[in-house]
Amino acid sequence: MGHPVQRKLPERENVSGPSGSGHNRKTTFVVLTHLKRILVAYIDYYHRSHTHLSLKMDSPLPRPIQTPDEGKIIAVPQVDGLHHRYKRRAP
């Protein structure tokens, strides 16, 4: 039998199923499409809402200051709800 490290491992069977590598291509497409959508949403959040210390806590695309008389504060979900931007909504 020999040393356990010297034993030959059994050949792996094809586990991709009857559709062959088509399943892998479909899965890859779905994952990459979802990843692209999330990245685009995060980039938009980063430039429009995320505050930066080097910009004196403003975002790269600044927003106007909203005063209390402009209405109630509401949360606007961004990046599929992972982040929120807060703004005032007119009553």
Q: pTM for the full model?
A: 0.59
Average pLDDT over residues 63-89: 90
Question: 33 or 2: which carries more pLDDT confidence?
Answer: 33
Phi/psi of residue 22, each to 5°?
-60, -40
pLDDT at 84 over 60: yes
Residue type for 38, please?
I
**Could you state, in order of their start, the residue ranges of all structural domains in the chain?**
21-89
66: nearest Cα among 45, 91, 87: 87
